[in-house]
Amino acid sequence: MIFFMACAATTALPLASQVTTPLSYVCHHVAAPPVIDGKLDDAAWRQAPWTTDFVDITGDPELRPLYRTRMKMLWDDHRLYIAAELQEPDVHGTLTAHDSVIFHDNDFELFLKPVPAAKDYFEYEINALNTTWDLYLNRPYLEGGKADSAWEATGIKTAVAVQGTLNKSDDKDKGWTLEIALPLDAFATRQQVTVPTDGTQWRVNFSRVEWLQGHPREENWVWSPQGAVNMHIPDRWGTLTFRR
């Protein structure tokens, strides 16, 4: 999540020439949803394709992420399901309070705009301790938007599985995986969202914040590149298409 709470915005860099058309993902309907335990071994997930590997937020091909990140999605009549796989040789986390500023840890972030024509959208962050932060934004920060952490994604289920040992730096981990089950009516207190049908499209993006040892600033690796160090440019997010 690229912003500072003190000023409620970051300075966007000019759009990079490497950025092309925003990516797209076809999300398939599933009859038997996955069990939300952080492990991606459910039969349902075999129906969902992986995205391409995440890239640097700017889209610059020379800034190749050090570790692989990828995700996949499914849906049923009640929830949107997200799974992600994050390579990480030393999985760690410190934040345990809900609605902490989760990107102060290494994290995974979901950005959703269920009504593409609207200004407002939703954000969800999770770390390797399964600590979460859900927030609503009435518009992008650079347009004067405000973060609303009072929004709660009621009924959401999340889980994390660590392939290694959490907060133990004297061994080498493989990484961590996560699952999110987001109710399709979780937005109701802030935005009227019609339940998806076949062909419905939302705007969506995913980000990973990684604090590399010895580096003063975080790395930002994303699914659909933004062309700037700023996740809050919804026009550069990808497109999610629901299919039955």
For 34-63, write each residue's pLDDT tens digit: 999 999 999 999 999 999 999 999 999 999
Burial of 181 (0-12, 13-18, 19+ CB in 10 A): buried
* pLDDT tens, the chain, 244 aa long: 554 333 333 344 444 445 568 999 999 999 999 999 999 999 999 999 999 999 999 999 999 999 999 999 999 999 999 999 999 999 999 999 999 999 999 999 999 999 999 999 999 999 999 999 999 999 999 999 999 999 999 999 999 999 999 999 999 999 999 999 999 999 999 999 999 999 999 999 999 999 998 888 899 999 999 999 999 999 999 999 999 9
Predicted pLDDT at 5:
39
Predicted pLDDT at 126:
98
Domain ranges of the chain: 27-243
Q: Domain spanning 27-243: which CATH class is it, in words? A: mainly beta
Predicted pLDDT at 22:
95
Cβ atoms of 155 and 14 closer than 8 Å: no
